[in-house]
Chains A and B, each alone.
Chain A
């Protein structure tokens, strides 16, 4: 795949251990980390087992060597999923997020001009999340706010509306990323026995539930400037979901009187989807049909999800179907507009 000049919306980095974050924590939390034996699990508690996920680069030299230089990227947006800690102490989650943001700024953003980052914020305490957005949101190199799709409550619910307002107020993008609080079972009837099934739940149900929630709860009427990108959640599932969503809305619109347009219009206006994992058919005709259903050349933004492996998703077939202009939009232009990287 030709990557020269591309914007990569999801490149992972992770501190080699929690020791790397200690300089960015105060005495209380350094003591807490020592006494509780807090660590940063290299697999994120099983989220990224070694079998499918080599360790993420832990310093900028490694990233330059693995990604930035050989690929010739114009820009990469860093995702530090180490913030997806599953312990239940909301104050620790906030301290961890602050430390990661300061680590991202000092050790990544200041060392390579090609880098941008998603800031991380706590999931358990929306007020603290807003405070953190206000603390670091003035730095234009933080272009988005990273939140996991697996959480206690869907992101569209009312308690999070002030958080979405804060994201939009700082001209940031809401970046919803696969995985998160994996202690909670991913199905309506409990935990899974295989990674395969757990992994598929991200794209095939949980991410979809988040899109439904943000739209149905009227977030985009309340926060008309909010832009959302789904990272590592797939996208081929979107057309059938929207067909159901539009159809149901036409019938039960009374329940959500704040919606002024059909659900698919909100999605087209406010959402973009990362290209990895692609999860596409190998058949070119079918891919062309799917691309038309999706409006792929406007909807998709390139993301490598380095260093995670998802199997063969046939993205190249889709890019080929889109032609030169469509390919350029997906590889670069759409992300420029999404993150407002130009002008």
Chain B
């Protein structure tokens, strides 16, 4: 990444000297239909108003049996959690003294799989709303580019539109796309992101097909399985050789936990030792590759009864330089920066997770 050398040096300065104390790497703004329609050209505006969209939202499969899925205090008058910038600023940025916040508008998960030109128009409307209504109003904010992923040439165009705006810091992927995410179909998107120095950010959500043993029945199961969908995504990117093609590409895995990564890497290395000729392009241990390409966010972090075991599990990953605090505002399972990390997490690691690691990845501070 172009800005890495300089910011890596910044990250090595003692924490006390650093200005940035808190970066929130997962904030969900939510444009309403009335925000998007005026930002759509015809015929897409009429289509949006008359037919809506076809890909279901995750809560339609798995109703969130907890405060309807949102912080109870996050509903603005006449709006939706995340739709009102002033409320978001007050409840999150001000209340928790967030130095930088990375927005992840999730509409791209469903919009990105609509009919090609319609998908492109919808994603662009989201990006424009975020730019005008959020980024332009607060310089602490960064965002993730929504792209019509299932039509890669149009996704490439959308990335190119924003690549020159330093506030658009990454490209959004769902954890479930039409094909496994390592599929070559998506490589043009990844190449464009890598060349622009933008990480990919895979956020839980998107398509949820049969997955080998059928559907969970409950949100409880579906939510625990978020990690497993992300495991499948990471395994696919590695198995298909994405990183041999694009060694500079960085991928942030959001809202899927972290502690599974150690056991996943052990399993990958063990399998690789037995069947490396099946994946001949993998020229070194998968764990080595994994540690160089992936990042994590904290929310929802695992909570063992013994918090010391969480620290051990994070150390199993060998990736504590690649874990970033995330609140997941305004969802029901919002994590406060004061409470997320148990006391057992050593001070230095805590500072890296709360700010240093994100500063390095996104060139902040």
Contacts and interface: CB of A to CB of B under 8 A. Distances in A.
Contacts of B271: 196, 199-200, 277, 310-311
Contacts of B64: 252
Nearest to B232: A187
A252 B266 contact: no
Contact of B211 (A187, A243, A293): A187
Contacts of A213: 213, 216-217, 221
Contacts of B216: 154, 209, 212-213, 216
A277 B267 CA distance: 9
Contacts of A71: none
B225 A187 contact: no
Interface residues of B, number: 70
B169 to A, nearest CB: 25
A194 B309 contact: no
A204 interface: yes
B300 A204 contact: no
Interface stretch (A84-92, A108-116, A233-241): A233-241
Contact of A190 (B209, B264, B275, B310): B209
Interface string B284-316: 000000000000000010111000011011001
B135 interface: no
Given A197-B239, A286-B316, A208 B225 contact: yes
Interface in A217-256: 217, 234, 236-237, 239-241, 243-249, 251-252, 254-256
Interface string B248-267: 00000000010110111011
Contact of B267 (A189, A194, A236, A247): A236
Nearest to B177: A189
Contact of A204 (B220, B235, B262): B235
A239 B304 contact: yes
A189 B181 contact: yes
Contacts of B235: 197, 200-201, 204
A51 B280 CA distance: 14
Interface in B213-228: 213-221, 223-225, 227-228
User: Which of B180, B213, B257, B273: most chain A CB closer than 10 A?
Assistant: B213
A236 B240 contact: no
Interface string A287-311: 0011011000000000000000111
A199 B275 contact: yes
Given A187-B211, A206-B212, A286-B316, A309 B274 contact: yes
Nearest to B211: A188
Of the listed residues A149, A194, A237, the one surrounded by the most CB atoms of chain B closer than 10 A to its CB is: A194
A326 interface: no
B267 A237 contact: yes
Contacts of B1: none
A249 B333 CA distance: 12
Contacts of B310: 243
B212 A185 contact: yes
Interface in B42-87: 64-66
B326 to A, nearest CB: 15
Q: Which of B220, B260, B332 has the most CB of A within 10 A?
A: B220
Nearest to A187: B232
B196 interface: no
A203 B213 CA distance: 13
A150 interface: yes
A155 B177 CA distance: 26
A244 B212 contact: no
Contact of A150 (B183, B209, B213, B263): B213
A205 B211 contact: yes
A206 to B, nearest CB: 4
A252 B302 CA distance: 15
A236 B332 CA distance: 30
A188 B224 contact: no
Contacts of A249: 220
A192 B263 contact: no
Contacts of B264: 204, 237
B270 A310 contact: yes
B277 A51 contact: yes
B255 to A, nearest CB: 11
Interface of B: 64-66, 175-183, 206-221, 223-225, 227-229, 231-232, 235-236, 239-240, 257, 259-260, 262-264, 266-275, 277-279, 300, 302-304, 309-310, 312-313, 316, 332-333
14 contacts: A153-B213, A153-B215, A157-B217, A184-B210, A188-B211, A190-B179, A197-B239, A201-B232, A201-B235, A205-B211, A206-B212, A248-B223, A251-B332, A255-B219
Interface of A: 51-52, 149-157, 184-197, 199-201, 203-206, 208-210, 212-213, 216-217, 234, 236-237, 239-241, 243-249, 251-252, 254-256, 277-281, 286, 289-290, 292-293, 309-314
Given A251-B332, A281-B266, 6 more contacts: A187-B232, A204-B232, A237-B267, A243-B302, A244-B227, A248-B300
In the A-B complex, the 7 residue pairs with the closest CB atoms: A311-B274, A240-B259, A311-B273, A243-B302, A205-B228, A186-B212, A197-B239
